[in-house]
């Protein structure tokens, strides 16, 4: 599926709402409540102030002739040492908040630290203390075996990847490192005979961990390209994906999303490498055809071909400025709806694209089907409002 690598209206500060809870959380995090954002900000301000004081004291000690070992030890001593009680809200926020809603700025390093600390603690074989379990939001788990540890660790790592790949955060190299570690772990557990065709299966499971292989590898391709790695390795990754996707030609999702997206990337990488002009042209034509057929949402598609700090994408050049003027207007309109929900099924933006009822302009729907099914309940209000 297409990754959502931009911030929402809340994350950009366009909407003055608190960040929402992520819709795709696993248990036990799914049953937890997101802490009030005011409490998260309060704890962040406290920790930032303590960090500044620690830096000042280290500087003063260094000027007074303290050794480097003594200076480093300051951060591990009270009042600067890590205290779970001061991090509970930030850890809970890092685990539960919608990645797109997290404001860019000094909250991002705190979320990064919390998720990385989560991975470190879950990777250790030692039993967690009650304080650590509460801090990680897993205090209600009756049993924390190794399978559960690694499963939760994978979820935390993928949240880090999505955070790092956001276009306004752009820590792409860190995302590449995490994804390469995960892919290598999968390959290490595969029999040697299956390495060449490891993408043939849609999913792979070991030790209680389930990986959707093609979406994972597609996200790896995204990270490589966003990181500016226009080289033979990235090209090989794309050809692997293309071969594996064509093997599943009967799957509509593959043809509607995976194959065209590989061609979007392939046209870009081959152009930057200045190789295979025929394939470059073919991939560009396939991507354009699928876009004009309306298979891809333009707002999502834009994030791949007009990403900041990237060279001009051949598809962006082919589409022209007018396409982006429309896309930008549509995107700004949609950002203002972030957090709103369909009056029919309840799905929220930006997970679905919402449109206003043409009669009253007050309620939103994600599809005509939802609008038709809700019409019996909505029509009296709609007609009264219109009148």
Look at residue 341 and tell me whether its pLDDT is greater than 80.
Answer: no
Range name among 125-129, 135-139, 372-376, 378-382 with the lowest pLDDT average? 378-382
Q: Which helix (H) or strand (E) holds 364?
A: strand 364-365
Taken as a whole, the chain contains a residue count of: 387
Q: Which helix (H) or strand (E) holds 210?
A: strand 209-212
In the block, residue with structure tokens 């005011």: 38
Q: How many CB atoms within 10 Å of residue 322? A: 8
Look at residue 385 and tell me whether its pLDDT is greater than 60.
Answer: no
pTM above 0.85, yes or no: no
Q: Which helix (H) or strand (E) holds 120?
A: helix 107-123
Digit-coded pLDDT (tens) for 38-80 = 999 999 999 999 999 999 999 999 999 999 999 999 988 888 8
pLDDT number for residue 196: 65
Q: In whole angstroms, give the CA distance from residue 182 to residue 190.
A: 13
- Structure tokens that stand for 145 in this block: 């075996």
Averaged pLDDT, 280-284? 94
Look at residue 386 and tell me whether its pLDDT is greater than 80.
Answer: no
Look at residue 325 and tell me whether its pLDDT is greater than 90.
Answer: no
Look at residue 24 and tell me whether its pLDDT is greater than 50.
Answer: yes
Q: In whole angstroms, give the CA distance from residue 217 to residue 261.
A: 12
CA distances to 69, 80, 216 from 77, rounded to whole Å, are 13, 6, 41
> Is pLDDT larger for residue 187 or for residue 236?
236
Question: What CA dihedral angle connects 266, 267, 270 and 273, to 10 degrees?
Answer: -110
As a whole-number percent, the residues of the chain with pLDDT over 70 amount to 83
Highest mean pLDDT: which range of 66-70, 333-337, 338-342? 66-70
pLDDT number for residue 366: 82
What is the bridge-based pairing of β-strands 355-356 and 209-212? Answer: unpaired
Q: In whole angstroms, give the CA distance from residue 251 to residue 246.
A: 9
Q: How confident is the prediction for the chain on average, in pLDDT?
A: 83
pLDDT number for residue 14: 80
DSSP string, 266-310: HHHHHHHHT--HHHHHHHHHHHHHHHHTT-S-HHHHHHHHS-TTS
Q: How many CB atoms within 10 Å of residue 204? A: 18
Closest CA to 110 of 220, 35, 28, 219: 35
In the block, residue with structure tokens 């930006």: 350
Position 222 confidence tier, pLDDT thresholds 50, 70, 90: very high
Highest mean pLDDT: which range of 35-44, 242-251, 345-354? 35-44
Helices (H) and strands (E) counted in the chain, each on its own, are 17, 4
Q: What are phi and psi of 365, to 5 degrees?
A: -135, 150
Residue 135: strand, helix, or coil: helix
pLDDT number for residue 63: 94
């Amino acid at each position: 599926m297409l990754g959502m690598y931009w911030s929402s209206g809340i994350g950009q500060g366009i909407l003055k709402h608190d960040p929402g809870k992520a819709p795709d959380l696993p248990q036990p995090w799914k049953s937890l409540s997101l802490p009030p954002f005011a409490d998260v900000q309060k704890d962040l301000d406290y920790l930032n102030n303590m960090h500044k004081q620690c830096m000042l004291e280290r500087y003063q000690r260094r000027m007074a002739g303290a050794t480097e070992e003594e200076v480093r030890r300051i951060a591990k001593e009270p009042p600067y040492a890590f205290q779970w009680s001061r991090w509970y809200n930030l850890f809970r926020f890092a685990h539960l908040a919608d990645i797109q809603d997290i404001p860019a700025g000094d909250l991002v390093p705190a979320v990064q630290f919390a998720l990385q600390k989560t991975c470190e603690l879950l990777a250790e074989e030692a039993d967690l203390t009650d304080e650590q379990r509460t801090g990680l939001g897993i205090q209600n788990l009756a049993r924390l075996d190794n399978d559960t540890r690694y499963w939760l660790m994978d979820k935390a790592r993928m949240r880090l990847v999505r955070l790092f790949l956001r276009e306004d955060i752009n820590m792409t190299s860190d995302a590449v490192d995490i994804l390469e570690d995960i892919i290598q772990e999968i390959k290490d557990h595969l029999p040697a005979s299956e390495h060449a065709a490891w993408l043939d299966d849609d999913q792979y499971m070991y030790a209680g961990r389930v990986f959707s292989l093609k979406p994972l590898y597609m996200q790896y391709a995204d990270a490589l390209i966003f990181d500016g790695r226009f080289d033979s390795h990235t090209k090989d990754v794309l050809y692997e994906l293309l071969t594996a996707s064509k093997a599943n030609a009967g799957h509509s999702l593959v043809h509607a999303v995976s194959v065209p997206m590989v061609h979007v990337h392939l046209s870009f990488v081959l152009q930057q490498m200045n190789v295979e002009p025929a394939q470059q042209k073919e991939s560009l034509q396939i991507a354009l055809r699928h876009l004009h057929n309306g298979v891809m949402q333009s707002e999502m598609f834009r994030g791949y071909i007009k990403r900041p700090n990237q060279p001009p994408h051949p598809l962006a050049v082919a589409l022209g400025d007018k396409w982006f003027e429309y896309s930008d207007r549509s995107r700004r309109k949609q950002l203002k709806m972030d957090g709103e929900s369909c009056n029919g099924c309840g799905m929220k933006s930006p997970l679905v694209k919402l449109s206003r009822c043409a009669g009253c302009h007050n309620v939103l729907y994600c599809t005509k089907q939802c609008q038709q099914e809700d019409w019996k309940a909505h029509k009296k209000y709609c007609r009264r409002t219109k009148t």
